[in-house]
Amino acid sequence: MPQFPRTGLRLLLTLLALGAAQAALPVKEVMLDNGMRFLFIEDHTSPSFMGAWVAHVGSSNEIPGQTGLTHLLEHMMFKGSKVIGTKDLQKDLDLIARQEELKERIRQRSRTLREQVRQGRAASLKEAQEADTLCQRLEAEFQQLVVEQRDNMIPNEFDQIMQKNGELFGNAFTSDDMTAYFNVLPANKLELWYWLESDRLTNPVFRELYAERDVVYEERRMRTESTPTGMHEEAVNSIFWQASPYHWPIIGWASDVSELSMAQAQDYYHRWYGPGNVTGIVVGDFKTDEAVQLARRYFGRMEARQDPPPVVTLEPRQIGESRYVGAADVNPTVNFRYHCGGFKHVDSGALEVIASLLNGDTGRLQRKLVQESKTAVQAYAYYERKKLEGAFQLEAEAAGDISNQELEAALDAEVLRLVTEDVPERELQKVKNGWLTNAYREQQNPIRAAFTLIENAGMGDWREQEAYAKRIQDVTAADIKRVAGGLLKPENRLVTWWVRKDGAAPSPEAAALATLPAELQGPARMALAQIKQVGDPAQLAAMRAQLASQTPEDEQEKAFVGFLLQSVDARLEALKAEGAQK
């Protein structure tokens, strides 16, 4: 259940496209009596549909001490309901209650052990717990209950039902601002999707919460702690965001994730997963009137709840340049990160245009830094348009013996051009034309249109996709100079230097990642972490066949698919070697 930034997600969607319509697809909005909103796009291009729902809750809605809870809850929503996932519901509930009694005793003991860590009498809480006789006895009793619960479960029954009914694709993701769940199914399975999704929203049972918490903790270890720059990136993020809840990672701080409880998960679910805080999205081959009736019949039975609290914290204005130097097994790299407005901000169109001017094979960074001066092997700009705030990034990776100082000077020169020179009309119009083309392609494909709805609805307003497109077309050369001059200045940025760790060469994985465009490296790391968790060669072989069947539309998508194929092959070889050793 990966967490994808917008660019990586769109590339994955491209690979999953199911056909194209011939015109823009109109959206029908319906509000249920309980406050749940539904968006429908009827399109009969392919005998399939995508059903999705987005909960308007992300890691930015968490509180200190409970970071990572949004992502854990995403995992728990796949554990079934009072009907799905169990052989005997009452036995299941009794076992969960007994587990909670033991966990509360362990938590009480851990409070004492945590103080020992703070006082310097133990190196870590984990070490103190492992050395404590009472903790170990209680944990052994707890594990016995876990075994009993697993004997009573039907593992992965939700996914099995979807797959047996022809599911073409299904997954979920958590971001700073939203949690989304989606499935692509044959058109004749529309009512099944309504029943299954409304059932797990109405009657969830959080089975194996603590085992799944350990899975999330391991996911964090592989995605963050075991990657060349993972811990550095986490530190950089926490420096950049001073007050905003974007300050902590989506997957959560390690000390928080290891202590998340059933009571916290249930309270969080009740607060944030009410119908008034959820938007349903159905796109594809169906009759809208029938789909609306099904929405009322199944999702309408959810009880209305009080609206959750808003995030009131505003990021303060940065008043001095920040700097971070991280040593890792990577090529020397420089990154500028500036504070700016986010979703629906009046200058968001100008920021997107600036990023487009700098990006791409014919963009300014590629021409100046890569092709002409040969200062960098790759360079990019990226506008992070989050719900609460925004960030604008420029990054360049050194070529040859180029120093970090030279890279920084080269990036500064491109920023100065934006501030002092008018963008030629032809260059500006080229960017706008590119956006029009991309918008047209998105609207042609129902699956792409569905994810655009998820993205915009998840941040608060699905209609923003049209307003955003208009803001981009309205941008002038004067707007670019004004916005760049007001935001792209030293006192508003964090400068990060990545330097080679002790002169060591990057690992093979790091080297392969470095060949991808920078905006795809995050999604690639997440996909790599998932591939490493697969222990079944047959599953990997099926994954490889699916990837090999794709026909990427451009060089970026081709590189991304190539990296995934290479990673699957490496995992297959590793499993083969493990089998030979046994």
> Domain of 489: which CATH number?
3.30.830.10
Per the domain annotation, does 337 fall within a domain?
A: yes
Looking at the structure, do residues 288 and 390 belong to the same domain, yes or no? no
Please report, rounded to a whole number, the percentage of residues in the chain having pLDDT higher than 90: 67
Looking at the structure, do residues 390 and 336 belong to the same domain, yes or no? yes
Whether 75 and 256 have beta carbons less than 8 Å apart is answered as no
Tell me the pLDDT tens digit for each residue of 270-324.
999 999 999 999 999 999 999 999 999 999 999 999 999 999 999 999 999 999 9
Looking at the structure, do residues 190 and 176 belong to the same domain, yes or no? yes
On the question of pLDDT at 5 being above 90, the answer is no
Looking at the structure, do residues 351 and 454 belong to the same domain, yes or no? yes
User: What are the structure tokens assigned to 17, written together?
Assistant: 């496209």
Per the domain annotation, does 309 fall within a domain?
A: no
Number of domains in the chain: 4
Tell me the pLDDT tens digit for each residue of 459-504.
999 999 889 999 999 999 999 999 999 999 999 999 999 998 875 5
Per the domain annotation, does 352 fall within a domain?
A: yes
> Residue 331 is part of which domain span?
322-502
Whether 392 and 315 have beta carbons less than 8 Å apart is answered as no
- pLDDT value of position 566: 86
3-class DSSP string for 260-282: CCHHHHHHHHHHHCCHHHEEEEE
Contacts of 483 (CB under 8 A, 6+ apart): 347, 350, 351, 354
Cβ neighbourhood burial of 331 (10 Å; 0-12, 13-18, 19+): buried
Strand partners, 391: 339, 384
Looking at the structure, do residues 45 and 180 belong to the same domain, yes or no? yes
Looking at the structure, do residues 412 and 425 belong to the same domain, yes or no? yes
Q: Positive or negative CA dihedral for 453, 454, 455, 460?
A: positive
Cα–Cα–Cα angle for 560, 544, 219, rounded to 5 degrees: 70
Contacts of 195 (CB under 8 A, 6+ apart): 298
Distance CA 222, CA 45 (A): 40
Distance CA 394, CA 335 (A): 6
CA torsion 514-519-522-525 (nearest 10°) is -40
* Choice among 80-84, 317-321, 574-578 with the minimum mean pLDDT: 574-578
Per the domain annotation, does 274 fall within a domain?
A: yes
pTM score of the predicted model: 0.80
On the question of pLDDT at 129 being above 90, the answer is no
DSSP reduced 3-state for 358: helix
Looking at the structure, do residues 525 and 468 belong to the same domain, yes or no? no
Whether 422 and 484 have beta carbons less than 8 Å apart is answered as no
Backbone angles phi, psi at 445, to 5 degrees: -105, 120
Whether 385 and 7 have beta carbons less than 8 Å apart is answered as no
On the question of pLDDT at 182 being above 60, the answer is yes
On the question of pLDDT at 259 being above 60, the answer is yes
Looking at the structure, do residues 73 and 49 belong to the same domain, yes or no? yes
User: What are the structure tokens assigned to 164, written together?
Assistant: 């047996």
Mean pLDDT of the chain: 88
DSSP reduced 3-state for 423: coil
pLDDT classification of 582: cutoffs 50, 70, 90? very low
Among 468, 502, 536, the domain boundary falls at 502
On the question of pLDDT at 126 being above 90, the answer is no
pLDDT classification of 581: cutoffs 50, 70, 90? very low
- pLDDT value of position 1: 41
Looking at the structure, do residues 461 and 388 belong to the same domain, yes or no? yes
Contacts of 407 (CB under 8 A, 6+ apart): 332, 333, 334, 375, 376, 396, 398
Among 108, 126, 152, the domain boundary falls at 152
Q: Within a 10 A sphere around the Cβ of 417, how many other Cβ atoms?
A: 15
Distance CA 250, CA 122 (A): 28
Q: Bigger pLDDT: 513 or 296? A: 296
Q: Closest by alpha carbon to 163, among 173, 153, 171?
A: 171
- pLDDT value of position 24: 57
On the question of pLDDT at 407 being above 90, the answer is yes
On the question of pLDDT at 93 being above 80, the answer is yes
Which stretch of DSSP H or E encloses residue 426?
helix 425-444
Tell me the pLDDT tens digit for each residue of 326-340.
999 888 999 999 999
Looking at the structure, do residues 216 and 257 belong to the same domain, yes or no? yes
Per the domain annotation, does 119 fall within a domain?
A: yes
Distance CA 128, CA 119 (A): 12
Q: Distance of CA 31 to CAs 28, 35, 39, 147, 510, Å?
A: 10, 6, 9, 44, 48
Distance CA 257, CA 276 (A): 28
Per the domain annotation, does 384 fall within a domain?
A: yes
User: What are the structure tokens assigned to 23, written together?
Assistant: 């015109």
Among 453, 474, 502, the domain boundary falls at 502
Rg (CA), the chain: 25
DSSP result, 281-315: EEEESS-HHHHHHHHHHHGGGSPP-PPPPPP---P
Helix axes 404-420, 348-358, angle to 10 degrees: 130
Q: Closest by alpha carbon to 397, among 415, 411, 418, 382?
A: 411
Mean pLDDT of 20-38: 80
User: What are the structure tokens assigned to 67, written together?
Assistant: 């970071």
The rounded Cα 383 to chain-centroid distance in angstroms is: 16
Looking at the structure, do residues 485 and 531 belong to the same domain, yes or no? no
User: What are the structure tokens assigned to 492, written together?
Assistant: 């508003």
Mean pLDDT of 8-15: 39
- pLDDT value of position 556: 78
Whether 75 and 174 have beta carbons less than 8 Å apart is answered as no
Looking at the structure, do residues 106 and 65 belong to the same domain, yes or no? no
Residue type, 528: L
Q: Judging by DSSP bridges, how do beta strands 37-42 and 278-284 pair with one another?
A: parallel
Provide the terminal-to-terminal Cα distance of the chain, rounded to the nearest Å. Answer: 31
Whether 557 and 20 have beta carbons less than 8 Å apart is answered as no
Mean pLDDT of 105-127: 87
Per the domain annotation, does 314 fall within a domain?
A: no
Q: Closest by alpha carbon to 356, among 436, 450, 413, 421?
A: 436
Q: Distance of CA 464 to CAs 37, 176, 337, 345, 577, Å?
A: 16, 18, 25, 11, 51
Per the domain annotation, does 330 fall within a domain?
A: yes
Q: Which residue has the tokens 């005793």?
A: 105
Which stretch of DSSP H or E encloses residue 197?
helix 190-202
Q: Bigger pLDDT: 578 or 303? A: 303
Distance CA 347, CA 349 (A): 5
Q: Closest by alpha carbon to 443, among 12, 29, 26?
A: 26
Q: Closest by alpha carbon to 294, among 51, 81, 46?
A: 51
Tell me the pLDDT tens digit for each residue of 134-168.
999 999 999 999 999 999 999 999 999 999 999 99
Q: Closest by alpha carbon to 551, among 15, 20, 12, 7?
A: 15
Whether 272 and 24 have beta carbons less than 8 Å apart is answered as no
